[in-house]
Amino acid sequence: MTDISIRPMRESDLEAARKIVSMAFGTFLGAPDPENFWPDRDYVSTRWRGGVGGAFTAEMGGEVAGSNLASNWGSVGFFGPLTVRPDLWDRKVAQQLLAPTMDLFDSWDVKTAGLFTFAHSAKHVGLYQKFGFWPHFLTALMAKSPQPGNVQFSKLSGIDEAGREEAIKACRELAGAIFEGLDLTREIRSVQNQKLGDTVLVWGSSRLDGFAVCHCGEGTEAGRDACYIKFAAARTPEAFDRLLEACDTFASQSGMTRIEAGMNLGRREAYNALRRYGYRTAMQGVAMLKPDSPGYNRPGVYVIDDWR
């Protein structure tokens, strides 16, 4: 086994960890220049600085050898990207990073833990099965060009401080109605505090009907000229349609030329709604969950996310 130590991630690790993410995914996906893969996206600094969960660094010889980031959504926890320097692949570094991640999920007392991985990679699926995760439905990474509409919506950034806290509370109540304890508060605050994008809000006559946590542009998880819907939820099919239109309008108003959304195919009605609205699948993976149950990935649930 490689002489690796695992410790909490430090700010001084961020640049090296980000480079390893690019190199690892670029190498695995066969990019011609792996070291410069995804140069406009940042999955490491945004999550570490946002205090969304926990992060671990694998260190060898005083240098960063890999990392893993875990996110806390209340009763739901997921991890990724988990990446290791390509020259250290197949040396059980990923397993060493996963051990403290599982302890972290236990300390959070999550009801469902999960991850996104490559469906065609028996090595990846097999690794996560060793830690009790089981594959549950394909997850489509979908995209389209935004088409602005006329739907009424608000943005969290446009609400005063008191109203903002009430809006976050409403988002927490809506998410919890879909899956007990599901809470996007950390994600919402992370986006707001780091100015990564905004949270789009669609209201009914007396309550919040839907919300979407969106990253926009270079240096975020979206990338240059893109809006990435990291999480969205709506109460009803009609509210989901309004929320999709609101996200399109928000992306267009923000100057973005592409909008991305991930969808677990276990939420079949929501997936079909995205297709009707013009989204097409660019790539797909698989969601793996622990314990072996679908969580909120089931028919009748109108949620967008992909855990990448």
Q: What is the pLDDT of residues 15-45, one digit of tens each?
A: 999 999 999 999 999 999 999 999 999 999 9
Q: What is the pLDDT of residues 192-214, one digit of tens each?
A: 999 999 999 999 999 999 999 99
**Dihedral over Cα of 116, 120, 126, 129: its sign:** positive
User: Per the structure block, which two tokens stand in for 179?
Assistant: 């899956």
So what's the pLDDT on residue 264?
Answer: 98
CA separation for the pair 212, 196 (Å, rounded)? 13
What is this structure's pTM? 0.97
Residue 87: burial class (beta carbons within 10 Å; 0-12, 13-18, 19+): exposed
Residue 299 pLDDT level (bands cut at 50, 70, 90)? very high
DSSP string, 254-277: TT-SEEEEEEETTSHHHHHHHHHT
Whether the predicted pLDDT of 2 surpasses 80: no
Helix (H) / strand (E) containing 212: strand 208-217
Task: Give all domains of the chain, ordered by start, each with its CATH number.
Answer: 5-110 (3.40.630.30), 142-304 (3.40.630.30)
pLDDT above 70: percentage of residues in the chain: 99
